[in-house]
Amino acid sequence: MSKKPVRVAVTGAAGQIGYALLFRIASGEMLGKDQPVILQLLEIPDEKAQKALKGVMMELEDCAFPLLAGMEAHSDPMTAFKDTDYALLVGSRPRGPGMERAELLSINGAIFTAQGKALNAVASRNVKVLVVGNPANTNAYIAMKAAPDLKPGNFTAMLRLDHNRAASQLAAKTGKAVSSIKKLAVWGNHSPTMYADYRFATIDGASVKDMINDQAWNKDVFLPTVGKRGAAIIEARGLSSAASAANAAIDHMRDWALGTNGEWVTMGIPSQGWYGIPKDVMFGFPVTCANGEYTVVEGLEIDAFSQECINKTLAELQGEQDGVKHLL
Ligand SMILES: NC(=O)C1=CN([C@@H]2O[C@H](COP(=O)(O)OP(=O)(O)OC[C@H]3O[C@@H](n4cnc5c(N)ncnc54)[C@H](O)[C@@H]3O)[C@@H](O)[C@H]2O)C=CC1
Ligand SMILES: O=C([O-])CC(=O)C(=O)O
C-alpha cells in the first residue's frame, strides 16, 4: 500500500536555494522514493516574488513527479505551516561580498520570530524544522524560543554544508574517496569559527589524523578553508552557495528522517549540556540518527586545542544570542 503523503513547508521557495531544493524534495531524494509529499511553499507577499513562485510551481508540475501529491503557494506563514511535518526555513536575505553572516541578524532575525510563532500555532506537533537562512544557528534559536509548545529539540540549524565541505577537503588531502570518510564532526556555529574536527575520523578503519599527521595544515589550511568557504564562493560566483546548500539541506533532513545506519553526521541542535555547552545554545554536534531521532555522540575526548576552538565558537554564539534578546 502506498504511504500517506507528508507535508513539507519550504520558505524562500522562489529563491536560489529554493530552486535547487524543491525538485529534489519532489523527486523523493529527501524523504525516500516511496514517500509522497505535499509542498507548502512560502514567499513574501510581494507581486514579483509570488509570480516567480508560480513559475517554479509550473516547472514542478512539468516534471510530473509521481511523488508530488500536491503543492500550494502561500504568502503567510500561518497558512504555509498548517499541519506541516517538515519545515525548511530558507527564506531570508543572503550576504554579499565582504559581509559576515552575523551581520544579517538585524535583517533576518525578526523573520524567525514570526515563523517560530506560526509553527507553534499551526504545524504538526512533531514538525521537524531545519533553519538554513543565515545566521542559521541563531535564527534557529529565535524560532525555537518563539515556539514554546513544540519540542525544542525539533528545531535544528544547518551545519551539514560545513560537514560536507570538510569531508571533501579531507578526501582531496588524503587522495581517498569522500564516501570512505567516517566519524567526522563539526562543532559550533555555521560561521568561520566553526571547528571541523577530524581527530576521530577514519578511512577504511585507519585514522585520518595519523594519515595526515600535520597540525599546521589543520590549523592554517584546513580550518580556514572550510570556515571561509562560503565567502570564497560568494567571491567567485557573485552569489552565495545555493546548490551545495540545497544538497546539504536534503542530506540533513534525509538523515534525520531515515537514519544514518550508525554513521556520524553534524547537526546544529539545542544543547542539553553536552560537552559543557550551555542548555539551548544551538550548536553543531556529531550525531547519529535512527527512527526519526538524533542522538549526540558522547564521550569524545576534547584536547586543549579543540577546547580552545569550541570555546571560541561558543562565545560567538552566546554573543549572537545576547544580541537577539529583544526578539525573544
Ligand atoms: N546554512 C547554510 O549553510 C547556508 C545558508 N544560506 C542562507 O540561506 C538564505 C537564502 O539564500 P538564497 O536562497 O541564496 O537567497 P535568495 O535571495 O536567492 O532567496 C531568498 C528568498 O527568500 C524570500 N524571503 C525573504 N524573506 C522571506 C520571508 N519572511 N518568508 C518567506 N520568504 C522570504 C525572498 O523573497 C527570496 O525569494 C540566506 O540567508 C543565505 O545566507 C545560504 C547558503 C548556505
Ligand atoms: O556564506 C554564505 O553567506 C552562505 C553560506 O552560509 C555558506 O555558503 O556557507
- ipTM, interface predicted TM-score of the complex: 0.99
Query: Is 190 known to be catalytic?
Result: yes
pLDDT tens readout for residues 95-117: 888 888 888 888 888 999 999 99
Does ligand 2 come within 6 angstroms of the Cβ of 189?
A: no
pLDDT band at 2 (very low <50, low <70, confident <90, very high): confident
**CA nearest 320: which of 112, 181, 116?**
112
pLDDT tens readout for residues 284-303: 999 999 999 999 999 999 99
Residue 34 C-alpha to ligand 1 middle, in angstroms? 29
- With a pLDDT cut of 90, the percent of the chain lying above it is 93
Whole-angstrom Cα distance, residue 226 to residue 215? 15
Please report which helix (H) or strand (E) contains residue 131, including its range: strand 128-131
pLDDT band at 4 (very low <50, low <70, confident <90, very high): very high
Alpha helices (H) along 63-104: 77-80
Q: Whose CA is nearest to atom 1 of ligand 2?
A: 230
pTM of the predicted protein model: 0.98
Max intra-chain CA distance, the chain: 56
User: Relative to the alpha carbon of 247, which ligand is closest?
Assistant: 1
Query: Buried b vs exposed e over 73-98: b needs ≥16 C-beta within 10 Å?
Result: bbeebeebbbebbbbbbbbbebbeee
What SS3 state is found at 247?
A: helix
Residue 40 is given by DSSP the state: E
For the chain, the average pLDDT equals 97
Q: Whose CA is nearest to atom 3 of ligand 2?
A: 95
Please report which helix (H) or strand (E) contains residue 109, including its range: helix 105-122
Chain position carrying cell 503543492: 71
Residue 206 has pLDDT above 80, yes or no: yes
Mean pLDDT along residues 173-189: 97
User: Relative to the alpha carbon of 132, which ligand is closest?
Assistant: 1
Residue 227 has pLDDT above 70, yes or no: yes
Q: What is the pLDDT of residue 106?
A: 86
Residue 18 C-alpha to ligand 1 middle, in angstroms? 8
Residue 277 C-alpha to ligand 1 middle, in angstroms? 28
Residue 249 has pLDDT above 70, yes or no: yes
pLDDT tens readout for residues 191-205: 999 999 999 999 999
Please state, in angstroms and as integers, the Cα–Cα distance from residue 183 to each residue in 28, 263, 305, 308, 321, following that order.
26, 7, 19, 21, 29
Whole-angstrom Cα distance, residue 233 to residue 254? 25
**DSSP state letters, 154-199:** GEEE--HHHHHHHHHHHHHHHTS-GGGEES-EEEB-SSTT-EEE-S
Q: What is the pLDDT of residue 1?
A: 60
Please report which helix (H) or strand (E) contains residue 74, including its range: strand 68-74
Phi, psi of 327 (to 5 degrees): -90, -10
Q: Which atom of ligand 1 is nearest to the CA of 19?
A: 13
Q: Which atom of ligand 1 is nearest to the CA of 12?
A: 22
134 has binding-site annotation: yes
Residue 321 C-alpha to ligand 2 middle, in angstroms? 19
Peptide bond before residue 135 is cis, with ω within 30 degrees of 0: yes
| 8 Å CB contact between 285 and 275 | yes
